[in-house]
Amino acid sequence: MIKSNLVKAFPLLVTTLMLSACGNKPTETQDKPKPVKVTTQQVEEINSRQKLSYSATIEPDIITKIGFAVPGVINNVTVKEGQFVRQGQLLASIDATEYDNALIIANAGLEQAEDMYQRLNELYQKGSLPAKDYIDIKTKLAQAKASKSINSKHIADSKLYAPMSGIITEKLIERGSMAAPGVPAFTIIKTDKVYAKITVPENEIGSFKVGMQSNVFIPTLSDSVKGTISIINPQADAVSKTYSAKILLNNIGQKLLPGMIANVEINPNKYVPVITIPATAVLRDADDITYVFVVNAEKKAVRKRITISSLIGNKEAVVKDGLTKGDLIIVEGQTQLRDGSLVSF
């Protein structure tokens, strides 16, 4: 009986072993990914007229802080922040009662000194007055005149006038507050002319010259104005190693306000080698980073980050950095690629 059962089970065992053996055979080699068909272009340099672009901030022509030259209680303020004032316009005044009284006393002292001088001078001319007494009265007369002049100036200084035409940007006093010498009361800016201040890298500052023309675009106003480079600071920033320059602008209509952001474009009269690529080859990711695909020796697409400095029309992009002469970039079919994709062309 046992032998009979073994005989019956033997074919089943053989079948199982055969199936197991078949299952352990190595699988066929998986299909390799197919290369993506693309069009390529070799990167070349061309000579192009140099175009320099910078971000700028509008600054006033003059900014000054003014205050009272004498102490006192402010009794009148005639202007407010944002107001345009003209040179010589009264801005504020302090209570000058104390200075008025001091001037009255000084005038009385001067009259007395002048009277005494006239009488003693006659005696001195006749030889009846010692030289020491004559010198004393001359000194007292000079002191009386100086006292009157000082107190007259105190009264004049109790009124604060605009030293130039401009805009009040800060009003730091109120009626009833104390004024003190050296403490600012107002800030005034002059904006008939303004500056667009830019920061220039070390490798570009050599292209700058005072008097060069520039185009300044103000996004807030959607308008452009012509300017002239008027100031080039020869001292580099100790940390960034960059230089500052200022472009002078005529502020017609007072539209250009300090603090506005502007874009400055300068065209030095020289040609430099630049790399241009088709604008269609440039891609942009979700983080707003621009890049292209470059083909390596293994015919794989390698993502390469680039910086675009400008556009030539809407067909060519000028690459500031990220590519070198001889690179093979993909200009068609790049939207189907990932970093490392196989390509054919």
| Domains located in the chain, CATH noted | 37-48+272-344 (2.40.420.20), 53-61+191-270 (2.40.30.170), 96-152 (1.10.287.470)
User: How does pLDDT run across 128-164, given as a tens digit for each residue?
Assistant: 889 999 999 999 999 999 999 999 999 999 999 999 9
CB burial readout 196-227, b (16+ within 10 A) else e: bbbebeeeebebbeeebebebbbeeeeeebeb
pLDDT of residue 31: 64
Judge whether 237 and 248 are in contact, CB under 8 Å: no
Segment (H or E) for 164: none
Average pLDDT, the chain: 90
Write the DSSP string, 14-78: HHHHHHHHHHTSPPPPPPPPPPEE-EEEE--EEEEE--EEEEEEEEEEEEEEE--SS-EEEEEE-
User: How does pLDDT run across 289-301, given as a tens digit for each residue?
Assistant: 999 999 999 999 9
| Residue 21 pLDDT level (bands cut at 50, 70, 90) | very low
User: How does pLDDT run across 199-225, given as a tens digit for each residue?
Assistant: 999 989 999 999 999 999 999 999 999
Half-sphere exposure of 161 (CA within 13 A, CB side): 8
pLDDT of residue 49: 81
For residue 26, pLDDT beyond 90:
no
For residue 269, pLDDT beyond 90:
no
For residue 16, pLDDT beyond 60:
no
User: How does pLDDT run across 30-78, given as a tens digit for each residue?
Assistant: 567 889 999 999 999 988 888 888 999 999 999 999 999 999 999 999 9
Identify which of 5, 47, 54 has the alpha carbon closest to the alpha carbon of residue 244: 54
Of 254 and 17, the one with more pLDDT: 254
How large is the average pLDDT for residues 260-282? Answer: 91
| Residue 4 pLDDT level (bands cut at 50, 70, 90) | very low
Q: Which pairs with CB-CB distance under 8 Å and at least 24 residues apart come from 100-103?
A: 100/155, 102/151, 102/154, 103/148, 103/151, 103/152, 103/154, 103/155
